[in-house]
C-alpha cells in the first residue's frame, strides 16, 4: 500500500508568500523614532550610540529612511540615508561630518558593520524578496509562539557577497507573520550570527502594522553583542525633504 507524504508546501504553505507577508506586516507608512544602539564585547566594554530616525513609504513602494546620530560626540552628525526598494537593489549613502562628505555605500559594503555594531548595513533594510530561494524546514515553538522555520539562500554568488552569508534560517510566527529570530551561516556552514527580535510595537492597529522595538545581534565568532532599542516611536506625517542627500548633510 503506497503512503502519500504531504509536505508543508503541498498543504498550502508557500514559503515565498510567508516571507512576503512577514515583510509587509512591518512596512509602516510613515514614522519617526528615537533609538539607542548598545555595542558590547566579551570583556564587558560597552559603547552607546543614540540616533533619530524617520521613515516613509512612497507611492512606488520604496521605503525611504534617514538615520542621524546625536550622541556621543565622536559620532554626532553622522547620517545614513536608505532607499529600500521592492523590485531592485537598495541605495544607501553615509555622511561623515569629519570629512564633510557623503558617499554611496556600494553593494560590496552592505555586508559590513553598521556603525561598528554586529548589525550589518544590509540589516538596516528589508532583504529583497526575489534575492532568495526559500524552503520550509518545519514548525517549531519559540518562546511559546508557534513558528514556521524557513531557510533563505541567496540566488547567486553576487548576492551571497552582498549579504555576506550563505543562508539564514528564520522563525516566523504563524499567527502574525513576525520574524522572531534569524540565524546566519557563513560559506563553511558555520553559524556566525543570530538576530533575536525581542519585542514588537503595534504602531497601526487598523492596518495591522508593527515595528521591531528591540532586537539583539550576537556574533558567535567574536562574542560581541549589539542591542538596538526604540526609545520612542510614533506614526507621523514625515517631511519628504528629509530623504535627500542635501538634508543628510545638514
Cβ–Cβ under 8 Å, residues 174 and 19: no
- Tell which residue, 197, 208, 207, has the closest CA to residue 230: 197
On whether residue 235 sits in a domain, the answer given is yes
Question: Residue 10 pLDDT more than 80?
Answer: no
Cis peptide before 127 (omega within 30 of 0): no
Query: 211 lies in a domain?
Result: yes
pLDDT for res 87: 77
pLDDT at 123 over 90: yes
How many other C-beta atoms can be found within 10 angstroms of the C-beta atom of residue 232? 9
**74: in domain:** yes
Per-residue confidence (pLDDT) for residue 12, from 0 to 100:
58
Q: Is residue 155 part of a domain?
A: yes
pLDDT above 50 for 76: yes
In a domain, 157, yes or no: yes
- According to the model, what pLDDT value does residue 7 have? 44
Q: What CATH number is associated with residue 165?
A: 2.50.20.10
Residues 169-190: tens digit of each pLDDT = 999 999 999 999 999 999 999 9
pLDDT at 42 over 80: yes
Beta-strand relationship, 167-173 and 132-142? unpaired
pLDDT of residue 3: 42
Given a cut of 80, whether residue 6 has pLDDT beyond it is no
Q: Can you give the residue range of the structural domain that contains 89? A: 13-248
Amino acid at each position: 500500500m503506497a503512503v502519500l507524504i504531504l509536505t508543508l508546501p503541498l498543504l498550502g504553505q508557500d514559503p515565498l508568500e510567508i516571507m512576503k507577508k512577514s515583510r509587509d506586516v512591518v512596512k509602516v507608512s510613515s514614522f519617526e523614532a528615537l533609538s539607542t544602539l548598545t555595542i558590547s564585547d566579551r570583556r564587558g566594554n560597552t559603547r552607546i550610540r543614540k540616533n533619530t530616525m524617520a521613515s516613509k513609504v512612497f507611492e512606488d513602494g520604496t521605503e525611504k529612511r534617514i538615520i542621524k546620530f546625536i550622541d556621543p560626540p565622536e559620532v554626532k552628525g553622522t547620517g545614513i540615508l536608505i532607499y529600500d526598494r521592492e523590485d531592485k537593489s537598495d541605495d544607501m549613502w553615509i555622511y561623515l561630518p569629519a570629512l564633510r562628505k557623503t558617499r554611496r555605500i556600494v553593494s560590496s559594503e552592505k555586508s559590513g558593520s553598521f556603525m561598528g555594531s554586529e548589525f550589518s548595513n544590509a540589516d538596516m533594510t528589508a532583504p529583497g524578496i526575489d534575492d532568495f530561494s526559500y524552503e520550509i524546514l518545519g514548525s517549531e515553538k519559540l518562546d511559546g509562539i508557534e513558528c514556521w522555520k524557513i531557510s533563505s539562500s541567496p540566488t547567486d554568488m553576487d548576492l551571497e557577497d552582498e549579504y555576506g552569508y550563505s543562508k539564514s534560517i528564520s522563525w516566523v510566527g504563524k499567527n502574525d507573520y513576525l520574524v522572531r529570530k534569524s540565524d546566519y551561516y557563513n560559506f563553511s556552514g558555520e553559524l556566525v550570527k543570530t538576530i533575536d527580535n525581542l519585542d514588537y510595537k503595534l504602531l497601526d492597529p487598523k492596518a495591522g502594522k508593527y515595528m521591531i522595538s528591540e532586537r539583539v545581534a550576537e556574533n558567535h565568532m567574536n562574542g560581541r553583542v549589539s542591542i538596538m532599542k526604540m526609545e520612542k516611536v510614533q506614526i507621523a506625517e514625515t517631511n519628504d525633504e528629509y530623504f535627500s542627500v542635501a538634508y543628510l548633510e545638514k
